[in-house]
Structure formats: C-alpha cells, structure tokens
C-alpha cells in the first residue's frame, strides 16, 4: 500500500488534535487561506510551465500543508497515516517527505512549537 518502510514510520507519528482556543483556530484558518492562495499562485505558473521543478516544489509544499490543516480543522484531529491514505486514494501518489514535513509544521503551529522559516501564524 505504502512505500516499503513508510507504513511503520506513519504508524509511529502521533496525531494532531484541533486546539480549543478560538484565537488559535482563527490563526490556523487564516493560515489555511494563505496556503490556498499559494497553491493558486503556483498553479497558474504550473499551467504555463508544468515541468518547472522550481514551481512544482512550492506548489506541492502548500498543497500538503493545506491538506493537513484543512483535514484538522474539519475533522478535529489528523493522523499522518490517515491523511496519507486519503491523499493516495484521491491522487494515486503521495510525496511522503513533503507530507511528513507539512505534518510537523502544522503540529508545531498547533502545539506552539518553533517553526523556522515561513511566514508563521498571524
């Protein structure tokens, strides 16, 4: 189902629980909007140049972060394994490195950890 060795890695990752703080939820919703805007911006560029890896990476980065965060805000919790299965069902492929990175970033935002780079929560 998954790449060899990846399933155990996914099983070991803890879940992210939607925070109760309305202020933090509002920030996460704004962040989701930011990811969606990034996806649209890069999608327009990809439509013109679909093989440009300099555009593909930031699009996929925003895609996975939006997927994790959207799933969390709608479902109330998210586990990396569950979202990997959902994405694989929908898109037939999953970039596990980007998904894992996105999961860690969203988890840090929710739990108040440090996220280096990026625009942070506002």
The pTM score is 0.84
Q: What share of the chain is helix, strand, coil (3-state, %, to 5)?
A: 70, 5, 25
- Decide: helix, strand or coil at residue 78: strand
Q: What is the pLDDT at residue 5?
A: 56
Distances (CA, A) of 79 to 13, 39, 99: 7, 22, 11
| For the chain, domain boundaries | 20-111
Helix axes 80-91, 96-111, angle to 10 degrees: 140
- Tell me phi and psi for residue 16, to 5 degrees: -110, 130
Q: Over the chain (122 residues), what is each successive 10-residue block's mean pLDDT?
A: 54 82 96 95 88 86 96 95 87 87 93 76 82
C-beta separation of 110 from 28 below 8 A: yes
């Amino acid at each position: 189902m998954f790449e060899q060795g990846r399933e155990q890695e996914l099983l070991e990752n803890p879940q992210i629980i939607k925070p109760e703080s309305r202020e933090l939820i509002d920030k996460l919703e704004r962040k989701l909007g930011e990811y969606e805007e990034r996806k649209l911006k890069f999608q327009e560029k990809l439509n013109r140049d679909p093989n440009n890896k300099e555009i593909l990476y930031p699009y996929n980065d925003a895609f996975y972060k939006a997927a994790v965060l959207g799933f969390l805000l709608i479902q109330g919790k998210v586990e990396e394994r569950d979202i990997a299965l959902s994405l694989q069902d929908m898109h037939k492929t999953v970039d596990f490195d980007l998904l894992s990175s996105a999961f860690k970033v969203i988890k840090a935002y929710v739990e108040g950890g440090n996220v280096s780079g990026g625009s942070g929560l506002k």
